[in-house]
Chain A
Amino acid sequence: MASIEKRIISALLAKMRKRRGARMAPHGKLSVDSTAVVPPARLREALFSDFAAVAELKRRWGLGADSLENWERLWCRNPALVGSGVKRPIGWVLEANGAIVAYLGNISLQCRYGDRTLTAVTATAFVAEPPYRALAVTLAAAFYRQKSVDLFITSSAIEASGKIALAFKCAALPESDYDTVRFWVLRSYPFAQVLMNELRVSRLLLPIGSILAALAIRADTIIRRRWPRRSAIRLAVSEISLDDVGDDFQTLWTEKIKEKTRLYADRSAATLRWHFDIPGDRGRVRVLCCHKDGKLDGYAVVRSEVDPRAGLRTSTVADMIVRQDDPAVVHALLVAAYEHAKNEGSEIFQIQGFTCDVREVFSDWAPYQRKFPAHPYFYKATDPVLHRVLGDPKAWYACPFDGDASLVRPSYSSCDSHATFQRETESTQTVVAVVSESERTHVS
């Protein structure tokens, strides 16, 4: 039985990857004429006036649309920069014959570790034209040689980006499970349709194939009981918009960072609002709040968006902070997030990262799993002592709030969900399907 299943899986994967390879063909020039002379490139800091050329380069290589408003948000209204007096490059470009042929964005962040406020930077939107990919590493070098930075973060799931990060003495996040996304299929038929499309099932067979696959997914959901369990402790959860994030969030954040010495990305109220307020965002961000005795005890930020290529609406827990990591509050927030995703009409509800204590809360909800194609989080602390301390998984509270994973619109992001969907079984994890795997950052 296992052998048949493996053969089916192998065939599915081969077919999907073949199609993925074809789909990953960029929208611009494809081949490099090996006899043509490639003009030399020079490295320089990116300027706001480069916006149009960079946006076009990103669009050509599938990173999606960008906007000048977003650039202003990232570099003019960034709480990590405003009022700090610090000036940092917005990124770097390679320029050849007056044209921009490669780009790497540089976003300033603030992190907290105990009572220390750390200056952090994260790389974003790494892209290069094929003839200049040899020199893409010079952009990374510019990023890593920045002065007065305590922490460098790369949240890209592209294998090449990870290898470049390692070459610059970064370390992978010690949390071994961080490259795994847990998800639940909320609407099996649309999900099955996408699956059939990925498998290139013929149009004639598509309806019946989708129905059969949807039935199989529903049966699997029922048999394995893939949904939130009820808790003996009932806590009320309310839903607010981003604009309503106020002083109670600031109080929770101030108290949270005193609880344990862990590395947290800054979650002051102003930063929270800025982080998720993305100009032109097609997604919807809602904040779920759990109060106890009139006091905010925890919140979860859920972002819902339709993947423009697959057409699947996905709700993601983009952030969650709970006082003392109270499991009852975590449970209440995640149940509410799951219900919110259903109400949003999402086909998928997913969670990535957080601590093993948080994951323990929903471990018996039997989520499916998918893995990123490469480790999606690398860091380098300039203080060698801190770098060593961060080698302990307990020093982290990593989630999609970190780096640029949820800071830029998913279609801008360098941290794409290269989805190898996996099904969790009692003792083994078996690959069942690859639903999508498109490399949006193109640095080979």
Chain B
Amino acid sequence: MQTTDIERDVREFVIQHFLSGDAGKLRADGSLLGDVIDSMGVITLVAYVQEHFGITVKDDEVLPSNLDTIANLAAFVERKIGA
């Protein structure tokens, strides 16, 4: 699976589940910070990537650098799939 496919799926999930389907509310840089998503949202998102991509996110991988943007999350998932 390509990073772009992962990014597309994650972006779609965020838009549908946290932005009521309004893609315009997502920041241009794909940042999840601000008022896009809250702490429970991140947990939901991590649960989604685990189930959707068949990976396990360990406690020590729950880091800002893996979760703060859609691009970073997609890159993290790709690394996990490739590992």
Contacts and interface: CB of A to CB of B under 8 A. Distances in A.
B82 interface: no
A135 B40 contact: no
Contacts of A138: 62-64, 67
Given A160-B40, A164-B43, A42 B35 contact: no
Nearest to B29: A37
Interface string A146-185: 0000000000000010011001100000000000000000
Contacts, number: 88
Residue among B29, B60, B62, B65 with the highest chain A CB neighbour number at 10 A: B62
Contact of A38 (B34, B65, B67): B34
Contacts of A134: 32-33, 36-39, 41-42, 67-68
A40 B43 CA distance: 19
B59 interface: yes
B39 A444 contact: yes
B3 interface: no
Contacts of A141: 59-60, 62-63
A136 interface: yes
A443 B39 contact: yes
A404 B67 CA distance: 29
A22 B31 CA distance: 29
A132 interface: yes
Interface string B47-83: 1000000000001101111011000000000000000
Contacts of A133: 38-39
B17 interface: no
B59 A168 contact: yes
Interface size class of B (residues with CB under 8 A): 20 to 34
Interface residues of A, number: 32
A34 B32 CA distance: 11
A131 B64 CA distance: 13
A41 B68 contact: yes
A164 B41 CA distance: 10
A311 to B, nearest CB: 32
A32 B31 CA distance: 14
B33 A38 contact: yes
A395 interface: no
B42 A135 contact: yes
Nearest to A135: B64
Contacts of B41: 134
A128 interface: yes
B63 A43 contact: yes
Contacts of B62: 137-138, 140-141
A144 interface: yes
B67 A34 contact: no
A188 B47 CA distance: 49
B68 A135 contact: yes
A41 B34 contact: no
Interface in A320-375: none
Contacts of B8: none
Contacts of A41: 33, 64, 68
B59 A144 contact: yes
A40 B64 contact: yes
Contacts of A32: 34-35
A94 B40 contact: no
A443 B65 CA distance: 19
A2 interface: no
A132 B63 contact: no
A115 B82 CA distance: 46
6 contacts: A38-B31, A41-B68, A134-B32, A140-B39, A141-B63, A164-B39
Given A42-B64, A134-B32, 19 more contacts: A32-B35, A34-B25, A34-B35, A36-B34, A37-B29, A40-B65, A41-B33, A94-B64, A133-B39, A134-B39, A134-B42, A134-B67, A135-B67, A136-B38, A138-B64, A138-B67, A141-B62, A160-B39, A164-B39
Interface of B: 25, 27, 29, 31-43, 46-47, 59-60, 62-65, 67-68
Interface of A: 32-34, 36-38, 40-43, 94, 128, 130-138, 140-141, 144-145, 160, 163-164, 167-168, 443-444
**8 tightest Cβ-Cβ pairs between the two chains A and B:** A141-B62, A38-B33, A145-B59, A136-B39, A32-B35, A167-B43, A134-B37, A444-B38
